[in-house]
Structure 1
Amino acid sequence: MTAPTPSTDDQEINLEDFETKHRSSPWINRFVFTLSIFLAVAHIYINTIATLPELWVSAFHFAGFGALCALLIPANPKWQQSKFALLCDSLIVLALAGMVLYIIFFEDALYARGVTFDTADWIVSSAAVLLSLELIRRTSGWFIPVLILIALSYVVLWGQWLGGMFTFPGLSMETLLYRSFFSTDGMFGSISRISWSFVFMFILFGAFLVKSGAGDFIIDLSRALASKMIGGPGFVAVLGSGLMGSVSGSSVANTVSTGVITIPLMRRAGFPARFAAGIEAAASTGGQLMPPVMGAGAFIMASYTQVSYVTIIGAAAIPALLYFLSVGFFVRVEAKRSKVIATEDDSNIVVSQVLKEGWHHILPLAVLVTLLVQGFTPTYAAGLSIIAVILASFLSKKHKMGPVAILDAMAQGAKNMSTTAVLLIGIGLVVNVISTTGVGNTFSLLITDWAGGSLFFTIVLVAIASLILGMGLPVTASYIVLGTLSAPALFNLIAESQLVEMIASGALPETAHAIFMLVDPGVMGSLAQGMPMDQAQALVAQVPNDFKGMLMDQALGAQHVAMILVTAHMIIFWLSQDSNVTPPVCLTAFAAAAIAKTPPMLTGMTAWKLAKGLYIVPLLMAYTQLIGGDAETLMRLCFFGVFGLYALVAAMEGYLEDKLSIPFRVLALAAAVLMLWPNLDIWLQAIGLGVFLVLFILGNRSYKKAI
């Protein structure tokens, strides 16, 4: 169990977490702490009571969190003691404040002039864009600012020089700055709105949970549940990181917070150091896939698809569980191979005792889920859940949240939000360029053309693109860019593949028959009886694009079409996570390597292998009804999917309950393919399951004889 800590309601405020790089200026630290609390209170007010123009709120959101970034992160680490650097950062804060005031007081004057810029408009809008680039550079490096500059210059300069499908006649600089700054399409568009509403409220909710001691409870509960399992410490990492990630939404933060406990535990139990770090990185990456928070991805996905947030997290739950099971299978296999034993620390932890001391931490999550299911907005649900955290803390002997703890949690939540806020607002500039120029539709057509209409190769291309973007973009930004560019192509291919299967099997509803009269009247008789797959594909290809949307709604149903759109975005969101664990740039794996003291790049390779579920599960989403299927379909997919993933891990590792010879590895791979291959007859899947069970039983007997 974790060591008792004094009650937080009588502790003094600790400013160490808010100490800026200008350590010679303690008054700046107090100012940052005060600003953090002010931003938290202001955003709670904005999201619950206020009715202000979205442009004003977005500008305030950017200015406030931009000021935090400017004061917390120096322009250059070498300048952290420089008074000149402090002066420059203070001027940035004043410039950001002036930007907000300018929008509030002078926006109407711009429209009174017929949206014609005067000198002040040019200065303020240009400065806002440049400040956005600088703040993102401080928090995320050079890649994103360069990407934004390339996108903006494409609109006003070099787009007109391109030939072919990517040519763009260009806009004036005045129009570009207007759309970037004064309209709700650029910096202060839909991405910014998601940032100051859903994302902030849930990050704040996570900060309150951590402050209330929920993090310790999650780790202790995971250790208690996994202590009697083979490879228990490894399962502690999987369970703990999954549960912690479900509320934190940050894979790197998840790795750092849980890894300092789980990685030493795994090493003491006998797991190799590099494997321990890889498991923590892979499990922490899965935290962004686990509802209810999922980073900012679930909220952005809901905005893009116009599907409710509750539906999104409901669709995400089963795939996320499959991912964590796949990581868990690697743990069991390695535990058998390395003969891992339970640690004494874990054997002394009892589930009933952990629940007795920390059951109240479950109440806020129960309140959150209940409110979401009842149809309340996510921001309202998060706000009431924060209150529930405070009230539930008084049921604890260790972590009662008094006024000091509440202020500390609000300030920590604002600090945690600062880098995310400036990043999302900056990415809004790229999204604006994509929508303004039509590059998104062009890119979708290009992907379809490169893939030759193949759904599989389209997913491969998206995976490659996500890996390349992920070398410089955080996963949320990578998902936003890729979702905007490639989701339409992926959606069309998934929908068309299901439509082709329906036509081939003769299951096309009669209401959809009429559209095919426009294409080939002679085919009407074959629609009810079915036809070969290639003939069905050719028939669908002849339908004009203007009628395909109507055809899909009539054939598949509007609700199912919406779930296909969710599937397309969910696949892209999953693939965007691979940069966390895939070299050469894999920050989550690097963070785990620092804790385990293992080579970063080799640790990244290990994490990449252990996170294979990031690629297998999206294929199941694309080719089956893992998202949006009925209960019977989901039960079958999950049943065979679990054993199929276990068989695949055994084939990759060459070990099940005991070492597998090459012929047995081939059999395990064949069993995995039979169980995971989409739309196979159930008797073929049953054969695959039977082969796997025989291998498991034989391996278990060999293992027992060996010991």
Structure 2
Amino acid sequence: MSTENTVTDHEVSEKLKGLELAQRSEQSTTGKLIYWIGVVFALAHIYFNTLGTWSELYVSAIHFGGFALMCALMVPMFKGGNRAQKSLALVLDLLLGIAAIVCALYLIGFEDALYDRGVKFAQWDWVFSVCAIFIALEMARRTTGWFIPCLILVALTYVFWWGKYIDGIFGFAGLSLETLLYRSYFSSEGMFGQIARISWTYVFMFILFGAFLVKSGAGDFIIELSRCAAGRFVGGPGFVAVLGSGLMGSVSGSSVANTVSTGVITIPLMRKAGFPARFSAGVEAAASTGGQLMPPVMGAGAFIMASYTQISYLDIISIAALPALLYFLSVGFFVRVEAKRSHAHAVELDTRPIGEVFRGGWHFLLPLVVLVALLIYGFTPTYAAGISIISVIVSSWLSKNPMGIKEILDALAQGSKNMATTAMLLISVGLVVNVVAMTGIGNTFSLMVTDWAGGSLLITLVLVALASLILGMGLPVTAAYIVLATLSAPALYGLMAESRLLDLMVAGQLPEAAKTIFMLVDMEKVALLSAPMAPADAQALLSLVPADFKGQLLEQALAPETLAMILLSAHMIIFWLSQDSNVTPPVCLTAFAAAAIAKTPPMATGFTAWKVAKGLYIVPLLFAYTNFIGGEPLEVLSIFIFAVFGLYGFVGFMEGYLEGRLNLISRALCGVTAMALLWPHGELMINLLAMLAFAVIFWLSRRNSETA
């Protein structure tokens, strides 16, 4: 192996250190203990989510205790050493896990006693609340590195210590340590609050559902079906990566898991077809990142969005489907262009006919049908996931490898293992969310972002994108979304809603109820609202409305359904932008994982993945400036179709290539047509002319390719 490759492998190892779990052997005593703990806690969670009537606070505490124990055993306190050192580490890990269980049981057993004392802490209340927070910090450190524990410590100490020493808008008078510990441990607001509840309900049940699907053989069916559907086209292996990662992502919701599971197949296939190695790894990383955008799992994002926005989970995943498809098409366009430029050829994948593959695995689709049907009929997502797990078992009996007791137990254990690190992450982040709520720093941050942006929605989007990238360097995607949504969603929502309000004012269509609020500002100018206004005049009049009245004004001017869709758009923008850290240097674990498989330089691969994943930045602009989310079906379809051609044109502009090489004039025109198709001007004629121009450019590039 060359020196260059040695350095590259070392860099990859360092970057993935905080991500790859050093799990103890399945065959060891510890491995068997983890296995059976996983089975027991999976069954317990199924009970809690279907038949159980326990207090949510108590279930959250049990969720913490059980998965902290699993995490302690799965991820050793320190690695290496001789046999005696490993035995000592195991004892310490086991004691730490048992301490987590005891902390959970103490909360359940002594919560009433605390209230009987008038919420006055006894000695053991101090001990167990501090111990629980310490365990959460340690589990977060083991699974994600030092960033999250440091962030939590900064947040907690801000509340009772150094916040009072800060001048200005971020100054905080402070709360007592006793109050902080109570709200962090005993109340349903801190580590056992809303985020923990989302963890043991929606997230766990769908991760378990995914584990059953994979164990039943659905993962192999998805890859085989993707290879049959796309493998024999020009550049087909690249399309296999896009399609396979999208379908796998709809089940797993983890970009790195997608990369590892599908990349070992697709990256060698792409290289065999003639794609450059770095491009192959970049495509796999970008496609796998899109798995977190693909319903139904969406990397836990859909569940958290449903909780934050109070919009049903079914509505969110149905709305998210077309944008996710748009993203995968954008990645596919890069594959198509590179296939033409690199003269990538079709690869004989030695697969069965697609009809034969489908006939042999159609039953794997039944659980998804059951899931969607139950959601449509109004069952809760957790109940639907529970029934769908049963349907996975039943449908497997139609295959050559039916699931028996051993396979069911394996799936239960694997689901718990997959959940352990996610559970610790979400519970830990709940401490930060609690601090944001206690101190009001979220509203302060939103006002600051609005002030920095000067009321510009575009600048706000840029600031959110930068913040998501910085947070993503130290936080996993879901945690980055939670923190950023808590801090910046109100500002983004406010600006987007005001943009819709200004459109009504400019068009002279402001409802009468909303005009009465302007009477409190300037009686003389209210008459102007009855007729169309110049945008500058509308903006000037709106700026006179005090901030305290703007919320009421928006409620009077815009329908509740419109406001709900604007709120969902704001959260969807943040969630999409939170994905960019997966593929954007300097920290892009998904790209590094793909680079490790392709044996390419990690940082260079990261930049390639960043280029291929440009849809992460473009599609959120459609959320912000159009009715792509929440519009009428025909309007949404129109935006989608024009965006497809616009994204293809954008790829041609970026690469200087479509069917053939583009000269400077054609490349510039390609960029102009792409902008016209993606820009939210709302003029059908401009879009049609842009599509005509793009068709001409496409034809010219094809002719150049044929004559070359």
Number of residues of Structure 1 aligned to a counterpart in Structure 2? 687
Mapping of residues 295-334 of structure 1, within 5 Å = 295-334=299-338
Q: 1:164 aligns with which of 148, 159, 168?
A: 168
Shift of 1:458: 0.3
Q: 1:288 aligns with which of 289, 292, 301?
A: 292
> For 1:165, what is the secondary structure of its paired residue?
coil
> For 1:678, what is the secondary structure of its paired residue?
coil
1:292 alignment partner AA: P
2:704 alignment partner AA: S
Corresponding residue number in structure 2 for 1:559: 561
Shift of 1:516: 2.1
Corresponding residue number in structure 2 for 1:269: 273
Corresponding residue number in structure 1 for 2:231: 227
CA distance in 2, matches of 1:703, 1:219: 32
CA distance in 2, matches of 1:91, 1:25: 22
Q: Deviations over 1:336-375 (max 9, x none)?
A: 00111111116x4422111111111111001111111111
Shift of 1:84: 1.1
CA distance in 1, matches of 2:118, 2:354: 68
Q: Is residue 79–residue 85 contact of structure 1 (8 Å, CA) maintained in 2?
A: no
Corresponding residue number in structure 1 for 2:418: 416
Instruction: Report the more deviating stretch, 77-86 or 356-365.
Output: 77-86
Shift of 1:318: 1.2
CA distance in 2, matches of 1:187, 1:428: 5
Instruction: Report the more deviating stretch, 548-557 or 602-611.
Output: 548-557
Corresponding residue number in structure 2 for 1:3: none
Q: Deviations over 1:244-296 (max 9, x none)?
A: 00110100001101111111111111111100000000000000001111011
CA distance in 2, matches of 1:411, 1:24: 11
Q: Is residue 21–residue 80 contact of structure 1 (8 Å, CA) maintained in 2?
A: no
Q: Is residue 21–residue 75 contact of structure 2 (8 Å, CA) maintained in 1?
A: no
CA distance in 2, matches of 1:695, 1:233: 27
CA distance in 2, matches of 1:27, 1:341: 50
Q: Is residue 21–residue 143 contact of structure 2 (8 Å, CA) maintained in 1?
A: no
Shift of 1:636: 1.6
Mapping of residues 97-136 of structure 1, within 5 Å = 97-136=101-140
1:213 equivalenced with 2:217 (yes/no)? yes
2:159 alignment partner AA: V
CA distance in 1, matches of 2:27, 2:293: 40
Instruction: Report the more deviating stretch, 659-668 or 510-519.
Output: 510-519
1:509 equivalenced with 2:508 (yes/no)? no
1:482 equivalenced with 2:497 (yes/no)? no
> For 2:298, what is the secondary structure of its paired residue?
coil
Q: Deviations over 1:643-663 (max 9, x none)?
A: 000000000001011011111
Q: 1:77 aligns with which of 69, 76, 79?
A: 79
- Shift of the 621–19 alpha-carbon distance from structure 1 to 2, 3 Å rule, reads closer
Q: Is residue 19–residue 29 contact of structure 1 (8 Å, CA) maintained in 2?
A: no
CA distance in 2, matches of 1:454, 1:230: 44
Mapping of residues 354-433 of structure 1, within 5 Å = 354-397=357-400, 399-433=401-435
Q: Is residue 232–residue 347 contact of structure 2 (8 Å, CA) maintained in 1?
A: no
Q: Is residue 232–residue 349 contact of structure 2 (8 Å, CA) maintained in 1?
A: no
2:230 alignment partner AA: A
What percentage of residue pairs aligned between the two structures are identical?
63
Structure 2 unaligned spans of 5+: 1-19
1:256 equivalenced with 2:266 (yes/no)? no
Instruction: Report the more deviating stretch, 519-528 or 535-544.
Output: 519-528
> For 1:77, what is the secondary structure of its paired residue?
coil
Q: Is residue 223–residue 349 contact of structure 1 (8 Å, CA) maintained in 2?
A: no
Mapping of residues 34-73 of structure 1, within 5 Å = 34-73=36-75
1:174 equivalenced with 2:196 (yes/no)? no
CA distance in 2, matches of 1:114, 1:80: 51
2:377 alignment partner AA: Q
CA distance in 1, matches of 2:437, 2:530: 41
Corresponding residue number in structure 2 for 1:472: 474
> For 1:295, what is the secondary structure of its paired residue?
helix
> For 2:80, what is the secondary structure of its paired residue?
helix
CA distance in 1, matches of 2:410, 2:457: 49
1:159 alignment partner AA: G
- Shift of the 660–177 alpha-carbon distance from structure 1 to 2, 3 Å rule, reads same
Structure 1 unaligned spans of 5+: 1-17
Corresponding residue number in structure 2 for 1:8: none
- Shift of the 79–68 alpha-carbon distance from structure 1 to 2, 3 Å rule, reads farther
Corresponding residue number in structure 1 for 2:617: 615
CA distance in 2, matches of 1:331, 1:29: 42
Q: Is residue 180–residue 432 contact of structure 1 (8 Å, CA) maintained in 2?
A: yes
Q: Is residue 224–residue 351 contact of structure 1 (8 Å, CA) maintained in 2?
A: yes
1:338 alignment partner AA: S
CA distance in 2, matches of 1:589, 1:646: 23
Corresponding residue number in structure 1 for 2:31: 29
Q: Is residue 190–residue 430 contact of structure 2 (8 Å, CA) maintained in 1?
A: yes
Corresponding residue number in structure 1 for 2:95: 91
